[in-house]
Structure 1
Amino acid sequence: MEPAPVLVVGAGPVGMATALALARLGVRCVLADRDFETSVHPKLDYVNSRSMEFFRQLGIAGDIRAAGVAPRHSADVIWSTGLAGRPITTWALPSVDEERRRIAADDDGTRPAEPGQRISQIELEPVLRAHCRRSGLIDLRPGLRFDTLTQDDQGVTSKLYDVMTDRPIRVRSRYVIGCDGASSRVRTVLGIGEDSFGVPGLPGAFMVHFKSRDLASLHRHGPFWHYFAFRYVVIAQDERDTWTVHVNGAHPDEFATPPADPAAFLRDTLGTELKIDKVLLTSRWRPGFMLADRYRAGRVLLAGDAAHRMFPTGAYGMNTGIGDAMDAAWKVAALVGHTGGPALLDSYETDRRPVGLRNMRTSHRHIGVHMRAGALLREGVPVDGVAGFLDAERGENEYRGVELGYRYDASPVVCHEDGAAPGWSPAAYTPTTWPGGRPPSVPLADGTPLFDLLAQEFTLVDFAGDGRAGPLLDTAAAQGLPVRHAVVRDRRARELWERDLVLLRPDQHVAWRGNRAPADSAAVVRRVRGADPAR
């Protein structure tokens, strides 16, 4: 039996992010996946700004950008009656270069430390896998199929099979994190149920992933990232020659038998003589939503699509999973390192499941905009009227409050405050250090984001620098909680961070804040490390 502190099941983006976050915290893991190669399926095409902040924290944001769409390209979304029809409206979305200029120019704390990044999962996974392979703390095991597990008071015994030899392999670990996708075997073995539903009016879809340099046809209405035409959507994957089209089925059985000639089917659907150099991949898929009833059973946690499945609108699926990964990793690492207490496991579901539920509902709202706009066209509403509706309802891939503004308001490992919390809107991030939330990203005088001063462990950001942080730091040291003391001399940052002392968790969320050390520093430290959930 092979021992490991943590077993991560599933080496997709969420599983690999989990492993990399554990390694950054000094914790070894076995990362098992039944597949030998990274995905050839373009399941995602956008890493949002919060996920890019996390990847910056892991030291890999630059490599992801190098593999993705070049920073000069915009992310415009065109709405149209079809390539053979007429445009309705365009949602102009900035390029990475444009967003960086805005981040540098604005010091109001409303912007992220990192812009989002257009990148296909096909390009993202090799970057993550290369970093996993280089880590001495990640034992990457492709070709291992997870079968079952049993738990006891000391740990988890997992049974996996070598897919080549069918030889059983047992891994003994203290914890397991299941990142094995929507049809998660880990979730099934745990007996965790799910709340799932389809999308009325979208009973199925057919995807064609292909190569083409025929910009005269594809850019008939201008360059784009997404081209929404109701019956279908076209996605520009790399601004060179790679595209994906998803065609929505009119009835459940439309794609029961896939088109015999995908290229001809695509030309017929688009109403153009599109020159297709090569069809790379086709697949049928059924749109839907799912949220696991629980995110945890004993020493086993669920993350990513194993815990939630969302329609692609808004790109919340994988990005919500990256948030899961960062939250699960620091809590499990603290337990492995004996710096955390039992409330950390309870806090994982309390923190992350509400985020999954809200993001699922937001994705559902976005698809409702698509459905309603299509209905307006069918009802004979003039194109200008449909454009007005769409422009009033825009928010897909722009809801900064959803991406940056989520707070862990019920977390048992956050020191909550009395009084009314700051307002929240899906459309905008409100700069605040209200406990449980992500603090504002502020560029310091030299242009460095304040976030770059935050450690992999807890960080006490100290805007006073006059010794008042001492009691809290001493108490943390006495309880064995690693805390970096970061003194920041920046008036604008202090204004936006609202308090002289702000204690941040390893996932960059506020655990406690105050203008002086707490009256009972020991109680604060016990709470934030999960050793004393009662308050």
Structure 2
Amino acid sequence: MSEDVREIPVLIVGGGPVGLAMSLDLSRRGIRSVLLEQSDGTIEHPRTGLIAVRTMEAFRQWGIAQEVRACGFPEDYELSMVFCTALNGLLLDREFYPGMRDTPTPPETPEKKQRCPQLWLQPILARAALGHAETQILFKHRYEALAQADDHVAVQALDLATGARKDFKAQYVLACDGAASQVRTDVGIAMQGRPLGYSVNILIRSPGLARRHLMGEAERYMFVGPEGMWGNLTVVDGSDIWRLTVMGSQEKMDLESFDASSWVRRAIGEQDGEARTDFEVLSVTPWRRSETLADHYARGRVVLVGDSAHTMSPTGGMGMNTGIQEVLDLGWKLQGLLEGWGGDGLLASYEMERRPIARRNIGFSTQNFKAWQDTPDPARVCDATPEGEQIRKSLGKRLREATRVEWESMGLQIGHRYEDSPICVPDGTPPTPDDFRVYLPTARPGSRAPHVWLDDGRSTLDLFGRSFVLMVLDSGVDSQAEALAAACSERRVPLEIVRLTEQRVRESYGAALVLVRPDGHVAWRGQAIANPLHLTDLVRGALHPQ
């Protein structure tokens, strides 16, 4: 290692949405970090487009929700799902969804979903992170190697602009470097799973395309041919940029023989001799659809976050959104460890809480992908005959009903819970059903704390993020709250006591006292605190439940 070594609390490898979100969350906690990103920050082939409800709640906490909503995606652009043979072909069915302006905010959350393509989202996250003195982002810096010691990780990086080697000494290294994570490989964490198929993404520019075909505006068009569903076209910016995904075999990944323009013309539905729709192919990217999960989420002081820990089919849009949930779970735990109040078991709880959720989200995504493939007897789907019409009607209904959970997944997005967490205290109540579509609000320990509007216009979710919060929801329990405050002060655990009188909050949270973690998940609830020091030690990762 050279003499010029930078010592930092946290080094982040990878500057995609999850890495940038990690730097933002840490900076808001007063934790310095350096992020290494080997590109110059340009997004050549944007993938992420759907910002799920829980991610928007995180953006609300970080103060960027309104900027994301004002990203530039047209508020009146219709977000329907269309099943068809081609844009200028035959319709199978249509699932109507309004534009963002007319989409109501669900009662279970203060934030509805949002469409914001990655090419706009990443700059928003980068600006927000760089707005804090604690953040440094080094573009065109490639991670090279690491070596772990008991109290730090030594990291080598290469400045791609100058060729200079740079050395870092970090207390923790976060692998946000994606599915092919070199950091994960270097620490010897294996992935288990299977490929689901091969696809090619074609990014095109075609101004006004949505107004120049028969199917009308939609978020996604799913194309069915005689071979079954062969691809889909997804809106990117609501105007000019589109992403065509062609699903197929290993052979279709051979770019030397892959004719991107012919696939685009098939999606548009143009026949020889017809007027050509203008489009420009911007990029062509082959990729493997897979479902994989890391054996472990950490080794020593190296922690996996986002796609380095899991891969899943994009059907359902939960890849990045799962990663943002991991940011929320990990950020406050690193804060506790770096500030000295976190116990020895705090980092281990990250894997114990988040790995089962990733497995759940992987299963959801694969279920959705299988629903896309459920197209029996499609051979005559393109025939302009009564038989063809009946086939289209049958397949359209089948696909619309089978894929609806992909677009309506509130239970998946905010209903996840940390059932076996060692830093949450079970209260003996039964779990609510784990239904991908339906979310039932609950303050059962391990669950996301319910959203309730307060009299002052805030959401209960606005109370959380910086520290533990003890919600005092009944009179006569002030001495209990003061005892827990004293215990947290003794252990140097940040705690805020919030007294609320709204009866609807009491009814939703189901107890006189509710302790909520900095990530907005309930750690404990009850009518009295039998042993405040024991409770404090448990939620900070210094004990295991008795």
> Any conservation in 1 of the 2:12–2:35 contact (CA below 8 Å)?
yes
Deviation at residue 280 of structure 1 after TM alignment: 2.2
Match of 2:449 among 433, 439, 461: 439
| Pair 1:204 & 2:199 matched | yes
Deviation at residue 398 of structure 1 after TM alignment: 1.4
SS in 1 for 2:508: helix
**Alpha-carbon separation, structure 1, partners of 2:394 and 2:132:** 55
Aligned to 2:539: 528
Aligned to 1:117: 114
SS in 2 for 1:228: strand
> Any conservation in 2 of the 1:25–1:457 contact (CA below 8 Å)?
no
Change (3 A) 1:311 1:358: same
Change (3 A) 1:216 1:93: closer
**Alpha-carbon separation, structure 1, partners of 2:251 and 2:539:** 52
Aligned to 1:180: 177
Aligned to 1:253: 251
Aligned to 1:46: 50
> Any conservation in 2 of the 1:74–1:225 contact (CA below 8 Å)?
yes
SS in 1 for 2:119: helix
Deviation at residue 79 of structure 1 after TM alignment: 1.4
Match of 2:394 among 369, 382, 385: 385
> Any conservation in 2 of the 1:47–1:319 contact (CA below 8 Å)?
yes
**Alpha-carbon separation, structure 2, partners of 1:253 and 1:90:** 31
Match of 1:454 among 444, 453, 464: 464
Aligned to 1:353: 355
Match of 1:19 among 9, 16, 23: 23
> Any conservation in 2 of the 1:259–1:265 contact (CA below 8 Å)?
no
Change (3 A) 1:522 1:212: same
Question: Could you report, residue by residue, the CA deviation over 1:258-314 in whole angstroms, capped at 9, with x for unpaired residues?
Answer: 467644541144322552243322222222222111111011110111111111100
Question: What one-letter code is carried by the residue in structure 2 that aligns with 1:528?
Answer: V
Deviation at residue 139 of structure 1 after TM alignment: 1.4
Question: What one-letter code is carried by the residue in structure 2 that aligns with 1:36?
Answer: D
> Any conservation in 2 of the 1:46–1:118 contact (CA below 8 Å)?
yes
> Any conservation in 2 of the 1:69–1:238 contact (CA below 8 Å)?
yes
**Alpha-carbon separation, structure 1, partners of 2:524 and 2:243:** 45
**Alpha-carbon separation, structure 1, partners of 2:76 and 2:212:** 22
> Any conservation in 2 of the 1:204–1:285 contact (CA below 8 Å)?
yes
Change (3 A) 1:463 1:97: farther
Matches within 5 A, 1:263-342: 263-272=261-270, 273=275, 275-342=277-344
> Any conservation in 2 of the 1:30–1:140 contact (CA below 8 Å)?
yes
Match of 1:134 among 131, 134, 142: 131
**Alpha-carbon separation, structure 2, partners of 1:295 and 1:301:** 6
Deviation at residue 486 of structure 1 after TM alignment: 1.4
Let me know the Cα RMSD of the aligned residues. Answer: 1.9
Flag structure 1 segments of 5+ consecutive residues without an equivalent: none
Aligned to 1:244: 243
Aligned to 1:482: 494
Deviation at residue 93 of structure 1 after TM alignment: 2.9
> Any conservation in 2 of the 1:263–1:276 contact (CA below 8 Å)?
no
**Alpha-carbon separation, structure 2, partners of 1:195 and 1:440:** 34
- TM-score, scaled relative to structure 1: 0.93
Match of 1:93 among 90, 97, 105: 97
Question: What one-letter code is carried by the residue in structure 2 that aligns with 1:464?
Answer: D
**Alpha-carbon separation, structure 2, partners of 1:117 and 1:224:** 15
**Alpha-carbon separation, structure 1, partners of 2:391 and 2:279:** 36
**Alpha-carbon separation, structure 2, partners of 1:330 and 1:418:** 26
Deviation at residue 531 of structure 1 after TM alignment: 1.3
Question: What one-letter code is carried by the residue in structure 1 that aligns with 2:331?
Answer: A
Aligned to 1:404: 414
**Alpha-carbon separation, structure 2, partners of 1:276 and 1:72:** 24
Deviation at residue 245 of structure 1 after TM alignment: 1.1
Deviation at residue 321 of structure 1 after TM alignment: 0.5
Match of 1:502 among 514, 518, 526: 514
**Which deviates more, 477-486 or 71-80?**
71-80
| Pair 1:226 & 2:220 matched | yes
SS in 1 for 2:284: strand
Change (3 A) 1:376 1:65: farther
Change (3 A) 1:446 1:384: farther
Change (3 A) 1:269 1:424: closer
Change (3 A) 1:334 1:256: same
Flag structure 2 segments of 5+ consecutive residues without an equivalent: 224-228, 382-389
SS in 2 for 1:159: strand
Aligned to 1:492: 504
Deviation at residue 354 of structure 1 after TM alignment: 0.7
Aligned to 1:375: 376
**Alpha-carbon separation, structure 2, partners of 1:97 and 1:474:** 47
Change (3 A) 1:267 1:510: same
- TM-score, scaled relative to structure 2: 0.91
Question: Could you report, residue by residue, the CA deviation over 1:356-385 in whole angstroms, capped at 9, with x for unpaired residues?
Answer: 11101110000011001x335348772232
> Any conservation in 1 of the 2:77–2:217 contact (CA below 8 Å)?
no
Deviation at residue 388 of structure 1 after TM alignment: 3.0
**Alpha-carbon separation, structure 1, partners of 2:177 and 2:48:** 16
> Any conservation in 2 of the 1:217–1:274 contact (CA below 8 Å)?
no
Question: What one-letter code is carried by the residue in structure 2 that aligns with 1:499?
Answer: A
**Which deviates more, 319-328 or 255-264?**
255-264
Question: Could you report, residue by residue, the CA deviation over 1:305-356 in whole angstroms, capped at 9, with x for unpaired residues?
Answer: 1111111100010000111111111111110011211111110110111111
Match of 2:168 among 150, 167, 171: 171
Match of 2:68 among 64, 69, 77: 64
Deviation at residue 85 of structure 1 after TM alignment: 2.8
> Any conservation in 1 of the 2:9–2:33 contact (CA below 8 Å)?
yes
Aligned to 2:234: 235
> Any conservation in 2 of the 1:209–1:282 contact (CA below 8 Å)?
no
> Any conservation in 2 of the 1:206–1:255 contact (CA below 8 Å)?
no
SS in 2 for 1:253: helix
Count of paired positions: 522
> Any conservation in 2 of the 1:212–1:275 contact (CA below 8 Å)?
no
**Alpha-carbon separation, structure 2, partners of 1:356 and 1:379:** 39
**Which deviates more, 130-139 or 383-392?**
383-392
Aligned to 2:484: 472
**Alpha-carbon separation, structure 2, partners of 1:500 and 1:361:** 37
**Alpha-carbon separation, structure 1, partners of 2:95 and 2:377:** 19
> Any conservation in 2 of the 1:28–1:137 contact (CA below 8 Å)?
yes
